[in-house]
Amino acid sequence: MYAILNAFWKICLFRLAPQDLPSSNVLLALSLIIYGLCSIVVGLMSLTPALALASGIVDVLIVSGLTFLLLWVRDLGARFTQTLTALAGSGAILAVFAAPVLWWQVQQPEVMPMVSTMLMMGLLTWNLAVVGHVLRHALSTKFFIGILIALVYLYVSISIISSLFKAAGAG
């Protein structure tokens, strides 16, 4: 377990790439479950429990679908398991860092809003860089292209989730 967490951490630090992970469907399933749980926890800060659960499921479906689509377009489907495992595992680790900052923003919006906003911007930038790093290796392209694809992924993900769950009364 420690070795896997360490590998995800090293992906977050750009020291490992998705191809350094084992191609295991069990590891992929565990990574997606943990990623989904982290997404639900983050969603609970602004959504009802039922909507947070739905949001977490949609988030897992989006990351899975976009990863499949990107690799399918480039005819690199054999890299799907390792790429999605890397995205889910590193995303879960980054969510652990984001959750307390989001909680702080929700609970104490008037206390140092600039500090919490700057922390969230830093975490968002780190997340984009990690997703770009993973996609760069998965697609055998340049880091800059990986970052651009990560930006599109983030835009699509936020657009879908906010249109589904803000309309549902999430606030």
pLDDT tens across 125-151, in order? 999 999 999 999 999 999 999 999 999
Query: What is the maximum span of the chain, computed from C-alpha positions, in angstroms?
Result: 49
Q: Record the pTM.
A: 0.91
Return the closest-CA partner of residue 58 out of 79, 76, 36. Answer: 36
Query: For 81-110, what is each residue's pLDDT tens digit?
Result: 999 999 999 999 999 999 998 888 888 777
In this structure, is the dihedral angle defined by the CA atoms of residues 155, 157, 158 and 163, taken in order, positive or negative?
positive
